[in-house]
Structure 1
Amino acid sequence: MKGREFYQEPNFESGVPSRNFGHCQEENFEYLIRPRYGVGLHMTLFSFTTRASRVRPASKLFVPQYHIQSHGGSHPPGYKDVKVVQKPEAWFVKVVCTLFLYSQPLSDRSLGYLSKHLSPLIELQVVKWLNDPALGLKFFEFSRVKFNITHSFWTYTLLMRSLCNMGLHESAKLVFDYARIDRHLPDDTIVGFIISSFARAGDFGMAKKLLAEIQSDEVGIDIFALNNLLNMMIKQNKLEEAVSLYKENLGLNFNPDNWTFNILILGLCKARQVDKAFEFFNDMWIFGCFPDILTYNTIIGGLCRANEVDRGHELLNEIRLRDDCSPDVVTYTSVISGYCKLGKMGKASALLNEMINSGTVPSAVTFNVLIDGFGKVGDMLSAKSMYEKMASFGCIADVVTFTSLIDGYCRNGDVNRSLQLWNTMKVRNISPNVYTFSIIINALCKENRLHEARELLKELTCTNIVPKPFIFNPVIDGFCKSGNLDEANLIVVEMKEKKCYPDKVTYTILIIGHCMKGRMLEAIGIFDKMLSVGCVPDDFAVHSLVSCLFKAGMPNEASRVSTISSLDNNIPLRINRVVPVAA
């Protein structure tokens, strides 16, 4: 007691009976604090002196029991200090935690005392105070065995949630099993949380088992939890399992909603199983569900990716006839994109006009797919027209817009116009992406403008873009064909510095390039390096190298290459001793 304003000179009457048992010494101290300001306090302290361990000295733990004795009168000025004393449970919780952590095993007398005073509420507070799911579970099992106490619903819920959050899913399942045994069945919210937690950890088998156990207990499962499980299964490429789970649960108090169907339709469309997606689409009405714009957009997108654009267009027209649903920018853009990929630019343009006339404002994505489509069919006048029209609809040209235009001009052989657009991007502070670099570098190499392409490669290495081998390969091939192998090898070194490693095409280019210059030992070294990194050479590379080795008078090496290649590829090599590549 340190409340000096309240008790300046407290008078104590105490009796101190003492007993020794086991590893603890138990002492009872009774104090009667004489009343002042109308309040008296009777306090009994049970102290336990814990056994000293190798790393911790013996300590004395006090379990206080307070009894406020009211003698009338007004509350004292420092009455707020008494509120701490009015909650002995908080002190008792700390004592229980300390005994559990540092005084194992407890003596029979200690166990008896705790057995009398522990309650489900106290145990819940102990689990909270331990602030460690693993320790909480140990105390949970300890008190369950030693004191035969039925834990509260909230203790089970707290442990299951905290164990799942810590990734201790097996322990969470153990608590779940205890809850079922004690008939403390968790509600649909906690069940959904546990199932989702198992699914996030990739343990879909346990998630489905948990779902089956809950249903056998006739506990309703939250539709949100099941939908979440289906969604995560599909994201983990377990589409067939997700469809099976859906069908298994149809007759078990499970009524699918729009989200259920949208999840399954999306998964099937991404897997290009559009016909199966249509089966779910047609079943929606059976369960009182109606396709919304998300459903339509998903299945229209799936149809267009499968090149069934006309069917997608028919669905778009179906939406326009509905009163509760209208096509949006995604709907129109999906069908327009489908027509662009098929090169049907007339239909794509007509649909754009229909879209605008219906009051739906096209987005930058809409214009980008049209610009790309016109560029691929070589109609750069229409592509440029679409580019100029963007601003009137509030759309800003981005890196995709410029990349599509650059690609179109490069396809038409107008590399200089592409370079002008490249400079325009710089002026507008639009950073090129990996495909912008690839397109223009490849076009420059085709025109044998290797030094310009080389400068762009140097510019690429100064960006944060993670390059791919297909960007470097045209330049390496160009320098190899021009006989500048040293520059080609230097580019390979720069590739590796950017964590971009040669692929099969890179190795093939280098092997043939060194063979053409008669640098056979280096060509063999590149071939061996190719094999050592697990890159299997193709027929063309092997035949070229073997023929050059025979021509260079190295039959033993030619035989070795042939043998290794036939073992790796399991294909017979028909070796032509006449060199098929020009020197």
Structure 2
Amino acid sequence: MIIMQFLAQRVFIPKVVSTVLFHGHSSIEPSYAAASTIWFTKVVCTILVNHSQSLSVFDCDYFRKNLNPLIALGVIHHLSYGLKDPGSAFRFFQYLRINLNIIHSESSFDLLLRSLCHMGLHDSAKLVYGYMKTDGFFPQNSTLDFLVSSFTNAGRFKIAEEILIAKAESCSEKGEIVSSFVYNNFLSLLVGKNRLDEAVSFFKGHILRLQSFCPDTCSFNIVMRGLCRVGKVEDAFEFFSAMESFGCLPDLITYNTLVNGLCRVGNVDRAQLLLREVELHREFSPDVVTYTSVISGYCKSGSMEKAVTLFDEMIQRGTRPNLFTFNIIIDGFSKKGDSDSALMMYERMLNGGLKPDVVTFTSIIDSHCRTGDLDKSMKLWDEMNKRQVSPNAYTFSIQINALCKANRLNESRDLLRQMNFRKDIIPSPFIYNPVIDGFCKAGNLDEANAIVAEMEAKGCVHDKMTFTILILGHCMKGRTFEAIDIYKKMLSVGCAPDNITMSSLTSCLRKAGMASEANEIELSASNNANTGLSSLEKTTHLMSNMNIPVAV
């Protein structure tokens, strides 16, 4: 009676629908039956919205008679995606299953699992998955992949693994296999999240042992890539050796992974031998990635002659180098201070139709700075601007530091101003420090302080070097009290001074006739070191001893 009153108040009940609800569907047209299902679904959703905290309203003969898996699916869908409330959908799902003994359809399980995971409700999703298994359902490959990916991305690796193993055991009973796409994606996610041990353990413990898992070449490649990335190249070769026994043939990705792994650990000669093996292969040939990995290995070891020889050989064999290949060789020459060879490779790159990027210019600028040829580096800086290639933080740092070393402070100051106008560059102290140091040593403390102000305006926090430079600069200029203020600020932000800072400041104080202040600083630092105070406690203690108010 209460239900009928509620329905009468909330919705208009057509005569034909009333007939369907209370007398069954046997004498009603299919279109009317479908309409009644939609209408009844809306009625249930309306009740849920108004009585979300109490589901006992459904515990009566009327709803026991008319609620069914199809209605449940419609309600779950509307709650999950229409109202964005999978939590209520889950409670309704549980109530029907436990209190009304309704067996939900596979579609309801699938829909609810997805919506719960989308909202991050993985504990509820785990319960639904348990109900799903109990009712004899296992997720299809698309849902399985979604579940495994969602639980893995949420850091619930063990649950993702359990879902996969349960699916594999179910497939074994039916003589089926699990889609390799699903477990390969799981392996890839684990490797990408630096869970290499779990990936290797799952691969060895389950994929290689359960018949419903049939590893393919991609499976091996994923694990080998992870091993090579952390330097476990010999372990990767163990998997490489095991491929054939599982009917998997290595492909070019396999070889590229191993070649790159060998170069990472400095075994470039062995990597080149593997490259030769690929060159003899019938099914595929080495590509630019294969060659570039070995070339990079030689460049990092300083073997530029071998790198260029292999570079020329690559071109002769019909493999065209890309920008990354050129950049590696240019950087290799730059690191050795061979700016002429770096420029020659730069010209070859331009002649090959490739456009230089910021990495290219930064490497060549670095080579000129290393040899002290700053005029050439500045010309290259201008060329970079003409080609509309924007310098990055590292480019600015290299050029500014070199100019400061050559005492070309005004030019370094101009570059610093250019950088300050750039909103896409996050400034770091290591870029500002050389310029501040240069002006401090030149006795121009006002300019040094102006740079510090710009640094603070950009939200760049001073590091220990910044404070030390400023303290030394003000001490050298005889600005003792300003040096003390900088030291106090250093302590207030929790930046611990080192021996150079301390000795410079105390020496300055003594020269200025402030021996008692110097002794006080030394004593405070010594006491803090002996008492084993934390960094914060040391800072607070030093500030207290120097009569600085400590913020509470």
TM bucket normalised to smaller: 0.7 to 0.9
Overall identity of the aligned pairs, in %:
49
SS of equivalent to 2:318: coil
Check whether the contact 2:168–2:213 (CA below 8 A) recurs between aligned residues.
no
Instruction: Work out whether 1:113 is the aligned partner of 2:62.
Output: yes
Deviations 1:514-554 (A, max 9, x none): 33333344334433433443433333333433444444412
Query: Counterparts of 2:490 and 2:158 in 1: how far apart (Å)?
Result: 41
Q: Secondary structure at the match of 2:302?
A: coil
Q: Which residue of 2 aligns with 1:207?
A: 160
Separation in 2, partners of 1:538, 1:232? 43
Preserved CA contact (<8 Å) 1:61 1:95:
no
Distance change (3 Å), C-alpha of 1:547 and 1:103: closer
Tell me the residue number matched to 2:44: 96
In the superposition, relative to structure 1, how do residues 209 and 548 fare at CA in structure 2: closer, same or farther (>3 Å)? farther
Report the 3-state secondary structure (helix = DSSP H, G, I; strand = E; otherwise coil) of the residue aligned with 1:176: helix
How far does residue 392 in structure 1 lie from its aligned partner after superposition? Answer: 2.9
Q: Which amino acid aligns with 2:447?
A: E
Give the 5 Å matches for 1:230-245: 230-245=187-202
CA distance in 2, matches of 1:493, 1:157: 59
Specify whether residues 211 and 86 from structure 1 end up closer, same or farther in structure 2 by C-alpha distance, changes over 3 A only. Answer: closer
Q: Against the structure 1 CA distance between its residues 495 and 258, is the aligned structure 2 distance closer, same or farther, given a 3 Å change threshold?
A: farther
Look up the match of 1:251.
209
Q: Secondary structure at the match of 1:251?
A: coil
C-alpha displacement at 1:415, in angstroms?
Answer: 0.1
Task: Tell whether the 8 Å contact from 1:262 to 1:294 is kept in structure 2 after alignment.
Answer: yes
Deviation (angstroms), 1:148: 0.9
Contact (CA 8 Å) 2:299, 2:328: kept in 1 or not? yes
In structure 1, give the amino acid aligned to 2:37.
E
Mapped to 2, the partners of 1:521 and 1:216 lie a distance apart of 77
Deviation at 1:508, TM superposition (A): 2.4
Once the two structures are TM-superposed, the CA of residue 314 in structure 1 deviates from its matched residue by 1.2
For residue 128 of structure 1, report the CA deviation from its aligned partner: 1.8
**Does residue 270 of the first structure (1) align with residue 229 of the second (2)?**
yes
- Closer/same/farther in 2, CA of residues 212 and 563 from structure 1, 3 Å limit: farther
Mapped to 2, the partners of 1:275 and 1:543 lie a distance apart of 51
Task: Give 1:166's aligned residue.
Answer: 119
- AA in 2 matched with 1:236: K
More helix by share: 2
User: For the structure 1 residues 305 and 281, does the alpha-carbon distance in structure 2 shift closer, same or farther, using more than 3 Å as the test?
Assistant: same
**Aligned length in residues:** 510
Alignment of 1:181 onto 2:134? yes
- What SS does the aligned partner of 2:7 have? strand
Query: Which SS does the other structure have where 2:250 is aligned?
Result: coil
**Contact 1:64/1:88, CA 8 A, preserved across alignment:** no
What is the alpha-carbon distance in structure 2 between the residues aligned to residue 445 and residue 215 of structure 1? 65
For the pair shown, the structure with the greater C-alpha radius of gyration is 1
| 1:295 aligned residue | 254
Structure 1 length-normalised TM: 0.81
d(CA) in 1 for partners of 2:55, 2:303: 83
Give yes or no for the alignment of 1:517 onto 2:477: yes
Aligned mates of 1:156, 1:109 — CA distance in 2: 21
What is the correspondence of 1:40-189 to structure 2 with a 5 Å cutoff?
48-49=7-8, 58-59=9-10, 62=13, 65=16, 87-102=35-50, 111-130=60-79, 131=82, 132-189=85-142
Give yes or no for contact 2:227–2:235 (8 Å, CA) kept in 1: yes
- The superposition leaves residues 33-71 of structure 1 with CA deviations (integer Å, 9 ceiling, x where unpaired) of xxxxxxxxxxxxxx834xxxxxxxx53553754599xxx
- The amino acid that maps onto 1:189 is S
- Of Structure 1 and Structure 2, the greater strand share is in 1
The CA distance in 2 between the partners of 1:347 and 1:218, in whole Å, is: 53
Distance verdict in 2 for CA 1:281–1:547, change over 3 Å: farther
**Contact preservation (8 Å) 1:127, 1:136:** yes
Which of 557, 560, 571 is the equivalent residue of 2:524? Answer: 560
Corresponding letter in the other structure for 2:216: D
Structure 1 contact 549–558 (Cα < 8 Å) conserved? no
For residues 520 and 233 of structure 1, do their structure 2 counterparts lie closer, same or farther at Cα, with a shift above 3 Å needed? farther
| Contact 1:261 1:281 (C-alpha < 8 Å) held by counterparts | yes
Return 5+ residue gaps in structure 1 as ranges: 1-20, 27-46, 50-57, 69-80, 571-583
Q: Do 1:362 and 1:393's aligned partners in 2 also have CA atoms closer than 8 Å?
A: no
